[in-house]
Structure 1
Amino acid sequence: MNSLPESPAAERNAAPILAVLEDRLAPGDKVLEIGSGWGQHAVHFCRAMPGLEWVPSERPGELEVLGARVAQAALPGLAAPLALDVRTGPWPPGPFDAVYSANTAHIMAWDAVLAMLAGVAACLDSGGQLLLYGPFNIGGAFTAPSNAAFDRELRARDPGMGIRDLDALEKAAGEHHLDLKATVPMPANNMLLAFRQRAPAEQESQ
């Protein structure tokens, strides 16, 4: 079996993220993953929750390792990866019970985050979830000195990058009928944000 590159961060955070997903996802759920990277989360979660239908995705031109890992794992619930640019699509039609994305919001430019929220809302089933993992600010403030240092590193690489503020994300998501339902503290000063898509009747009443 050929060895494939691995992200140490993805290996470290897979178990704590899985513990949250196991409480929020049910057998038979169809899940779209945005920014699957090298596919470690997709494989780990599908092995642990074999009843899921998991659809990984990554930007065009960055699918080689992801595709190889998915093929190597050969898990029945793990689909072949999709090429997905959140700005330009093409977005899969769904409907999905959940969309999951880890460590993407601070890498994307803010306009890409907004495009992601719009795309997620369009492909989620009524009552579906957006599960977003990563570092986030609260009330415009960093939650730890290490996050402040990480933010400086990101912005030095690209001024469009940076840790996103929870209030700004909640407001932007709400414009697409995605309501923040839970903020789960995670190791290493990260969080898992759980948004829920409003049902059509709820949208009309807003």
Structure 2
Amino acid sequence: MNNLKQYAPATQRNREYILEVLLRVLPSSGNILEIASGTGEHSLFFAPAFSPRQWIPSDPNPTARNSIEAWKQESLIDSIQSPLNINAASSRWGIEEQQLNITTIVNINMIHISPWSACLGLMEGAKRILPSKGILYLYGPYKQGGKHTALSNQSFDQSLRSQNPEWGVRNLEDVIKVAEEKGLIFKKKLEMPANNLSVIFEKK
């Protein structure tokens, strides 16, 4: 199964910084749902820090889910669940009838590499799933006040839009507006390496 493992170099560079924030802002109990888990390397790194709470990865891409499962099997970490097939843009996620006691949703580097409908669906899903005081954690690059915060982000944005015109670095204020319309209160933003932000919301 090891040949199914995928690798994302950025994971190695940002995982410790993200974990440091997660340890500060996540609720002290309840399970953690990760939307758009990608290769699974973040799940592998984060899950032990929150054990025995369960880290629940997900991704709509079967190649990514195979990679997550391969990393999980190799690690023998018992606080990672097998990946779920969740498309953030879907009007209903396949876990909602399960009693999983999810108090946090984590979403890393998705909003800019997906259509805007994925951001809308993420906020709607967080509204449905999170309890009061539950946390939605976002990580990635953002424009602020309609402007890029670094030349590297501007170049990245142009590259994304050339691949798919529905992709692109989002304006933070637009993301906050959508979240707050769904009862998710913007709590804070934290500057991260490589011109990224951690953005934290709390469910009313």
Q: Percent identity?
A: 33
> Alignment length, in residue pairs?
198
1:49 aligned residue: 50
Q: Tell me if structure 1 keeps the 8 A contact 2:26–2:135.
A: no
* Runs of 5+ consecutive residues of structure 1 not aligned to the other structure: 199-206
105 and 128 in structure 1: CA distance in 2 versus 1, 3 angstrom threshold: same
1:24 aligned residue: 25
Shift of 1:60: 4.4
1:70 aligned residue: 72
- Picking from 138, 144, 150, the partner of 2:156 is 150
Counterpart-to-counterpart distance in 2, 1:111 and 1:25: 26
2:135 aligned residue: 129
SS of 1:151's equivalent in the other structure is helix
Supply the RMSD in Å over aligned alpha carbons: 1.6
Q: Which range is displaced more, 166-175 or 69-78?
A: 69-78
Q: Which range is displaced more, 39-48 or 22-31?
A: 22-31
- Aligned residue identity for 2:2: N
Counterpart-to-counterpart distance in 1, 2:74 and 2:137: 26
The answer to whether the aligner puts 1:109 opposite 2:115 as a matched pair is yes
Task: Map 1:193-204; keep pairs closer than 5 Å.
Answer: 193-198=199-204
Counterpart-to-counterpart distance in 1, 2:14 and 2:94: 27
- Picking from 90, 93, 107, the partner of 2:93 is 90
Shift of 1:68: 1.2
Deviations 1:72-101 (A, max 9, x none): 222121111100012224342254111001
Q: Tell me if structure 2 keeps the 8 A contact 1:101–1:133.
A: yes
Q: Tell me if structure 2 keeps the 8 A contact 1:33–1:55.
A: yes
Q: Which of the two has greater helix per residue?
A: 2
Q: Tell me if structure 2 keeps the 8 A contact 1:184–1:192.
A: yes
91 and 195 in structure 1: CA distance in 2 versus 1, 3 angstrom threshold: farther
The answer to whether the aligner puts 1:8 opposite 2:14 as a matched pair is no
Counterpart-to-counterpart distance in 2, 1:179 and 1:8: 32
1:166 aligned residue: 172
List, as ranges, runs of 4+ consecutive aligned residues in structure 1 with deviation greater than 6 Å.
Answer: none
26 and 181 in structure 1: CA distance in 2 versus 1, 3 angstrom threshold: closer
Counterpart-to-counterpart distance in 2, 1:189 and 1:75: 32
Deviations 1:48-74 (A, max 9, x none): 332331100000423111111122222
- Aligned residue identity for 1:47: P
Q: Tell me if structure 2 keeps the 8 A contact 1:42–1:78.
A: yes
| TM-score (norm: length of structure 1) | 0.91
* Runs of 5+ consecutive residues of structure 2 not aligned to the other structure: none
Q: Tell me if structure 1 keeps the 8 A contact 2:183–2:203.
A: yes
Counterpart-to-counterpart distance in 2, 1:38 and 1:21: 19
